[in-house]
Amino acid sequence: MATITIDGNQYDVDDTENLLAVALSKGYDLPYFCWHPELHSVGACRQCAVKQYRNDEDEKGMIVMACMTPCSDGGRFEIADKEAAEMRSQVIEWLMINHPHDCPVCEEGGECHLQDMTLMTGHTQRRYRGPKRTHRNQDLGPFISHEMNRCIACYRCVRFYRDYADGDDLRALGSHNNVYFGRDSDGALDNEFSGNLVEVCPTGVFTDKTLGAHYNRKWDMQNAPGICTHCSLGCNTSPGSRQGMLKRIQNRFHGEINHYFLCDRGRFGAGFVNRDDRPRQPLVRNADGILEPRAMDVMRDTMESVFAEAKGVVGVGSPRASLEDNYALRHLVGAKQFSNGMSAPDAAASRAALAVLENHSGQLATLREIEECDAVLILGEDVTQTAPRVALSLRQSARNKHHEMAAANKIPKWHARAVRDIGQTHNSPIFSATTHATRLDDIVVEPYRARPNAIAALGFAVANALDATAPAAVEPLDQDAQAFVDAIAATLKGAKKPLIIAGTSLGDPSILAAAGNAMRALRTANSEARLFVTFNEANSLGLAMMEDRDVDTAFAAIEDGTADTLVVMQNCLYERAPKARVDAAIKKAKNVIVMDHSLTRTVGEAATHVLPAGSFAEADGTLINNEGRAQRFFQVFIPDAPMQEGWRWAQDLAEVAGHKPDWIGMDDLIAAIVADMPQFAGIQDAAPSQSFRKFGMRFPRSPHRYSGRTALYANVDVRERRPEVDPDSALSYSMEGYQGVATPPALMSYAWAPGWDSNQAAITRFQDEVGGHLKGGDPGVRILRVAAGHSAFADATIHPVAGWQAVPIHAIFGSESQSARSAAIVERMPAAEYRVNPAAAKSLKLTAGDTLELAIDGETHAFPIAIDPSLPDQTVGVPVGMHGVCGLRLPVEIKP
């Protein structure tokens, strides 16, 4: 702690912080450009100039850069000092010399840090009349637009892209006055986190291309607190919409999870909400097999007769739908007829993962904690592709070595350039055992490649090496592998905060058991040890907690004739089981009722009745993320179509089926879930209830300057529409309501503070300290109970496959079914190909590009092959979730 004086006010502050961060935390308006809470200080832009006085007698003082000034005890600083203020305004005038006078046609306008800073410093009149420097732009792919003229050369983009996200293809080019930030040539930005450039760039150089296609200003957006549904991490997002169209996804700060950054799948994957082919009204398949629209009341009657005639109903839930949707379906069909909608291997792996999480629930890492871990073991998971935001956190954890070395040399952690220079290539150790080369390999110590069962064996061996009482795999590892295991065990043991990451994407429960054993062995020695488990979908953990029966039980019920009606909630059956089995079940079932928001294969080919359910943008719900955190997402806009939330459909169906539920609204439903399933106790606290008010007011979805209200729909009817009332949440569908720092974080639709319009800067006013946690606590509730005592070690059972094996290859752009329907993501989808190593290709007598026809799990696909030397022998990497490959139960033995 240190006591410093700013503008005559005394503060007790953290002496490891720099003055800029402290001043911002204390609520001062101090302009800055190159500094960022996560990228720290380099002192490049000279914008945060303040006056520093040596002591109480010093009257002259000297101008220093706040971001490069430590808060040492007794420091006396003046922000309001005239000379410092003058310097700041002159610096910005100089930065603005070449700025191109195009705010009206700039997508950043209205949420632009540069605009805010020019206003804050008072530079409102351009004096320079000479010629301005200009640049040519580059095509940076489907996500990002480039307009280099607007650049003020703060270097934030490359510092994020290269120094933080370890990207390689964006760099500072040119020299002196000609500095240019771009790629060597046109082409899509390669890094999975390139979308953050939109928010990191303080001007409009990098803007959101998907937003630009149907642009509107920040102040015109109708937002809502959202949870990303494209992987299991539950990053907080702020989806923005206008006139019933989803415009963009922005980061919503969460101090424990995503803090300032999202991955590109999360940011650009929501385009599916705007697709024209979505079912937007109730549909019934006629005799010709064509889906015909029905009015709501007609559909109700139809459903009544369907349920009256049904001989047994089974329900298929979904790990991508909310708890509420799934629970409502469970109520409709009855607990015994409900399945969790996961494929058999996914359900098994998720169950195993849940067991591990429950055993170690006190030791679960958050994404933020991953950044603090100094030794990591990844078992089987290609996190960049399956839970991308983890990869970004892991890259920060690798840099803990830099901070350690810097601290040894008394360099503060915020001194970014010095920390980097001292750290060079010395990274904290990250061990990774995967089936193939991953994007993290550049920071991994000796990547280990093996088949899933061998990865599990490695995990068991590590557990055994850490604690001799832990069972090792039956078959002993070879010498190299044993040496590797010993190295891992030694490193983990020696680490201050070791971390083990595993996941369900390989569909192998033994990997999770191995991770559990390793964790069990590690935590006895080090209570700081952490575990992080990723799942395949947004609510996989929630469904694993809710129900054990997987989708196959539903098919079995149809097949053995105990049921003839299938009710599917936001799920595509073809993604969960091989086509043959799904087709057989559907043929046997009399009616297939599907509630979904997208034209999935199930909707298009199998459904007899389609009920259009709201996507995350048109519904409220609760999702359980991979660390057991219940988080609420809220409806962004009211669709101009007869659609409703999945749970409302299920509620209506239950009513016509004759067992009307006794819950009515969202709060009721959540209370019913908690009462019925005690494992979910706590989800009611994920967000304030519908009746929550501040000073009697709701919380607005739109910024206070939302415009055009009396003209938006005036072409339809000059009389204004009645404002919509939200029956499910404490939010309002307008700009009316309480706006201020006391907004509960779970109800913060967008970030705005007076003078701070840009998302990443405005959020500062809502944080307990810059880059810390939100005032009032980060939203969400962790509902996994801390297990008492230590569980026993799991048996080291693995199921080796002797012959050829097909393993899943996940892709960030494509493997997740919802984002794969978004136009921008489709452009970045990898080509359809089987991957084999050179030896395997040789034994198959194929070379790269040759087509391989492969029967996997009863289905045959023919793709060209690509040579990937990183794959183990006799292993075929199969792209999952795209190009028609879905529903395969991988890994599986094959005979090519």
Give contact residues for another protein (rule: CB under 8 A).
99-105, 109-110, 129-137, 147, 149-150, 173-178, 180, 182, 212, 215-217, 219-220, 705-712, 714-715, 717-718
Residue nearer to another protein on the CB measure, 565 or 732: 732
First-to-last alpha carbon distance for the chain, in angstroms, is: 66
Least Cβ distance, residue 243 to another protein (angstroms): 8
93 Cβ contact partners less than 8 Å away, ≥ 6 residues apart: 123, 127, 128
Query: Are 355 and 655 spatial neighbours (Cβ–Cβ below 8 Å)?
Result: no
Residue with the two structure tokens 């009399």: 590
For 374, phi then psi, to 5°, come to -110, 5
Least Cβ distance, residue 130 to another protein (angstroms): 7
Least Cβ distance, residue 614 to another protein (angstroms): 24
For 53, phi then psi, to 5°, come to -110, 140
Query: Are 321 and 313 spatial neighbours (Cβ–Cβ below 8 Å)?
Result: no
Residue nearer to another protein on the CB measure, 62 or 711: 711
For 484, phi then psi, to 5°, come to -65, -45
Instruction: Output DSSP code: residue 443.
Output: G
Least Cβ distance, residue 242 to another protein (angstroms): 9
Residue nearer to another protein on the CB measure, 288 or 717: 717
Tokens of 349: 């792996």
Residue nearer to another protein on the CB measure, 706 or 766: 706
Alpha-carbon distance of 145 to 186, in angstroms, equals 12
Residue with the two structure tokens 């962790």: 782
Q: Hey, which residues does 777 pair with through a beta bridge?
A: none
Alpha-carbon distance of 436 to 439, in angstroms, equals 10
Least Cβ distance, residue 177 to another protein (angstroms): 8
Residue nearer to another protein on the CB measure, 105 or 308: 105
Query: Are 236 and 258 spatial neighbours (Cβ–Cβ below 8 Å)?
Result: yes
Least Cβ distance, residue 202 to another protein (angstroms): 17
Residue nearer to another protein on the CB measure, 27 or 212: 212
Residue nearer to another protein on the CB measure, 129 or 587: 129
Residue nearer to another protein on the CB measure, 110 or 744: 110
Instruction: Output DSSP code: residue 874.
Output: T
- Length of the chain counted residue by residue: 896
Query: Are 727 and 690 spatial neighbours (Cβ–Cβ below 8 Å)?
Result: yes
Instruction: Output DSSP code: residue 163.
Output: I
Question: CA angle 222-227-231, nearest 5°?
Answer: 135
Least Cβ distance, residue 712 to another protein (angstroms): 5
Distance, CA of 837 to chain centre: 32
Question: CA angle 234-431-402, nearest 5°?
Answer: 85
604 Cβ contact partners less than 8 Å away, ≥ 6 residues apart: none
Residue nearer to another protein on the CB measure, 172 or 753: 172
Alpha-carbon distance of 587 to 578, in angstroms, equals 14
Query: Are 701 and 736 spatial neighbours (Cβ–Cβ below 8 Å)?
Result: no
Residue nearer to another protein on the CB measure, 735 or 826: 735
Residue nearer to another protein on the CB measure, 214 or 426: 214
Alpha-carbon distance of 771 to 715, in angstroms, equals 45
Least Cβ distance, residue 99 to another protein (angstroms): 8
Alpha-carbon distance of 583 to 558, in angstroms, equals 12
Radius of gyration of the chain (CA): 28
Alpha-carbon distance of 514 to 379, in angstroms, equals 9
Residue nearer to another protein on the CB measure, 14 or 720: 720
Alpha-carbon distance of 180 to 178, in angstroms, equals 6
Least Cβ distance, residue 761 to another protein (angstroms): 20
Least Cβ distance, residue 179 to another protein (angstroms): 9
Note the helical H segments in 780-856. 823-827, 838-843
Residue nearer to another protein on the CB measure, 184 or 446: 184
Least Cβ distance, residue 135 to another protein (angstroms): 6
Least Cβ distance, residue 710 to another protein (angstroms): 4
Least Cβ distance, residue 731 to another protein (angstroms): 20
Residue type at 683? I
Residue type at 414? W
